Amino acid sequence: MDKLNIAVFGDSFADREMNPKYMYPDREDESWMNVLEDAGHKVTTFGRGGTSTWFSYENFISHHKFYDAVIFCYSHHERIHILPEGLQSYSSVKSCEDLKDMERVKTLPEQKQEELYDIIKGMHLTKNLLFNIFVLGKIFEEINFICQRNNIKLVNLLPFENKKTTNRFNFKASHGDVLYNLIPIVMKEMDSGSATDNRFCHLSLENNQVLGNIILDSLNDRPRKFVDLASEGNFIYSPEITERYKKLL
């Protein structure tokens, strides 16, 4: 395979940043993107934790034409699609009570805090499941269409979807592999909750390497695959590995 210039879009599953309090001395980036870099590819990620698929789509529209390949990670459909600049990483917040427990909210300017609280209070008034699913499905089709039209390699990563929910997507429109059902692996390995997760991309070093190699294979020129990661991914489950991360909490 030729060396690729790869762009990654998504939420925390595509974000290489880690809360500094979990970065013990000599701890390095453990994200799955390292596997792609170790194979000689250049990787740039636009991923940001807690964001919506629309946030990632806007970044994709702005940057995709500069890359040979795209890894697009789709967020949960219930997230707030659009938030003002500086607040996009709060798309996954579901209540004002959740905001009160978030230390990073307190570092926002007072005006931004008030704005965020108002948005969270009002989001339930406009919430619509059918609309949210429609938006996610249409973004999936657009990403695949644009990459196909521009001859850009594509891997679709849908962590929150399982066999029952994949019928929301037109997989016939897929230009590249579709990898789905990652959440059971995250939870089985260590159910710490996303707010306190000290694993890069919500996976241990070992399982980031497994995922990275699956994605690396997806970049090969071959017929597309639809992979249920929870049942076909050969991920590793070890009490010793889990304990390593629990010690950091």
Question: Quick count: other Cβ atoms within 10 Å of Cβ 210?
Answer: 19
In this prediction, residue 195 carries a pLDDT of 54
CA within 13 Å, CB half, 136: 28
- For residues 164 and 44, give the distance between their C-alpha atoms in angstroms, rounded to a whole number: 32
Q: What is the DSSP string of 111-151?
A: HHHHHHHHHHHHHHHH--HHHHHHHHHHHHHHHHHHHHHTT
Whole-model pTM: value is: 0.94
Residue 66: per-residue pLDDT = 98
> What pLDDT does 249 receive?
76
- Where do the domains of the chain lie? 5-78+129-246, 89-126
Residue with tokens 């590249």: 176
- Mean pLDDT (whole number) for 93-103: 86
**pLDDT-derived band of residue 104, with 50, 70 and 90 as boundaries?**
confident
pLDDT at res. 1: 78
pLDDT at residue 192, rounded to an integer: 60
- Report the pLDDT averaged over residues 100-112: 88
pLDDT digits (tens, 9 = 90+) for 155-172: 999 999 999 999 999 999
What are the strands of the beta sheet with 226-228, ordered from one edge?
42-45, 5-9, 69-73, 153-158, 177-180, 226-228
Question: Does the pLDDT value for residue 187 go beyond 90?
Answer: yes
pLDDT value of residue 193: 54
**Tens digits of residue pLDDT in 197-225:** 899 999 999 999 999 999 999 999 999 99
Measured CA angle at 157 (ends 61, 35), to 5 deg: 100
CA distances (Å), origin 147, targets 26, 45, 170: 38, 17, 15
pLDDT of residue 90: 94
Q: Given a cut of 80, is residue 194 above it in pLDDT?
A: no
Long-range contacts of 216-221 (CB under 8 A, 24+ apart): 216/35, 216/36, 216/39, 218/155, 218/176, 218/177, 218/179, 219/1, 219/4, 219/6, 219/41, 219/69, 219/153, 219/155, 220/1, 221/1
Second-level CATH architecture of 5-78+129-246 = 3-Layer(aba) Sandwich (3.40)
Average pLDDT over residues 173-194: 89
Identify the three-state secondary structure at position 187. helix
- Could you read off the pLDDT of 40-55 as tens digits, one per residue? 999 999 999 999 999 9
Q: Which of 176, 179, 11 minimizes the C-alpha distance to 83?
A: 11
